[in-house]
A and B are shown apart, each in its own frame.
Chain A
């Protein structure tokens, strides 16, 4: 189901809340493959940018164009929130839910749930109640639930915040696997190490504007702007 022609084009996007601009104006073209990491201090507009791309944030002006019709674009995207939303159901039902919405056949749902439960390493917890899982397990479940539809594009908003090294590694592995099977990944993180490990290219946001962007290697080696440089060095950027 992976559609290699999914790409996005933002032109002059501005998001305002209560009169003040929190994002934009932003012009951006997203390449078709790979992992894009969105960096920047708190309040820079990272989450808002992700939501704009996903189409769940109202924009005040400008336009977001996916290379496919909106409905199709939304259907083939998934979004993972910083604090994963667990349906008050079992792990199994959480995994099955996105497929049930699309009226998949029962047999196919069961098959995919089993496959993904195995992949996210929750195979022996299928009947546990999801809200009672640990933080790392919840995040893995959220990831499995997002990937079970084979999305073309996956957005993640700081998926590894508050997770320990082992959970982080498991999640990164799932992300790399998803990426190599063709899923476009766009994620925010505060973890520079994680950004270095995963990124193909980087968007650096500052005060709601796209301050710098570029290929990951070049960005980490030699940032063009002084703000990005000091951000990477761990200084406080304002």
Chain B
């Protein structure tokens, strides 16, 4: 119990003194995970929707694969991205390893299947509802996808938030491809891992509370901005 109290105290102290390192680490966490979220959502939302409305030969296999990829172990993703970006790897010339960009790439790979899969589930229901009307109005594929994304925005928000939650709390992959370098690639989760390893539980817990607060804050902010809870049933 003592450690938890000490952790809370440390967290409050860090927050109220606006500790320089804490602010830097927190902002980097946000920068990496939000960038990953934006990129992953841009890919996964249209893809998940497309999967819901399009019938093609390997559709079932694609969906099964997507669902399996939701459980992709971050450490393995980190390892693969590491090998791709390392000096001797195919993208080594870009010099991206141990940079925030590398961390974003890894997180995109981790959360895109999750977002696409949740999107697909939700869109399938909406499509069943809209199917007859949209077919009857002679809509193009593009128009159908746009209509579904627009009207299913609440479900898409849930998908995006699930993706963000996974990204912001993820440590395995970004530890490997980012390297947890102070002032360069250190983020909240890797810092927690480091402080725990060093035995500084108070600081680790303090960072942990900041991380939890941050995740909740982002959730509330997105809900408030998109006013999802105010407009009746959607």
Hey, which chain B residues are within 8 Å of A220, CB to CB? none
Q: Is A98's beta carbon under 8 Å from chain B?
A: yes
Q: Is B17's beta carbon under 8 Å from chain A?
A: no
Q: Is B138's beta carbon under 8 Å from chain A?
A: yes
- How near does chain B come to A66, taking the closest CB pair, in angstroms? 13
Cross-interface CB contact of A74 among B130, B138, B147, B234, cutoff 8 Å: B138
Given A101-B137, A131-B233 in contact, is the A85-B132 Cβ separation under 8 Å? yes
Which residues of A68-95 have CB atoms within 8 Å of chain B's CB atoms? 74-75, 78-79, 81, 85, 87-89
Given A74-B138, A89-B151 in contact, is the A132-B232 Cβ separation under 8 Å? yes
Hey, which chain A residues are within 8 Å of B233, CB to CB? 88, 129, 131-132
Hey, which chain A residues are within 8 Å of B130, CB to CB? 85, 87
Contact A81 B132 (CB under 8 A): yes
Contact with A along B115-134 (1 / 0, CB 8 A): 00000000000000110110
Contact A101 B132 (CB under 8 A): no
Hey, which chain B residues are within 8 Å of A56, CB to CB? 132, 135-136
Q: Which residue of A lies closest to B133 (CB)?
A: A85
Q: Is B62's beta carbon under 8 Å from chain A?
A: no
Bound complex: CA of A89 vs CA of B153, how far in Å?
11
Contact B138 A75 (CB under 8 A): yes
Cross-interface CB contact of A85 among B129, B139, B143, B231, cutoff 8 Å: B129
Q: Which residue of A lies closest to B126 (CB)?
A: A88
Contact B232 A129 (CB under 8 A): yes
Bound complex: CA of A74 vs CA of B135, how far in Å?
10
Cross-interface CB contact of B151 among A54, A81, A87, cutoff 8 Å: A87
Contact A129 B231 (CB under 8 A): yes
Could you say which of B135, B137, B143 has the most chain A C-beta atoms within 10 Å of its C-beta?
B137
Hey, which chain B residues are within 8 Å of A132, CB to CB? 232-233
Which residues of B180-234 have CB atoms within 8 Å of chain A's CB atoms? 231-234
Bound complex: CA of A71 vs CA of B1, how far in Å?
72
Binding site for A on B (CB under 8 A): 129-130, 132-133, 135-139, 143, 147, 151, 231-234
Given contacts A85-B129, A132-B233, 6 further A-B contacts (CB under 8 A): A78-B137, A85-B133, A87-B147, A87-B151, A88-B151, A129-B232
> Which 5 interchain pairs have the tightest Cβ spacing?
A85-B133, A79-B136, A88-B151, A74-B138, A88-B234
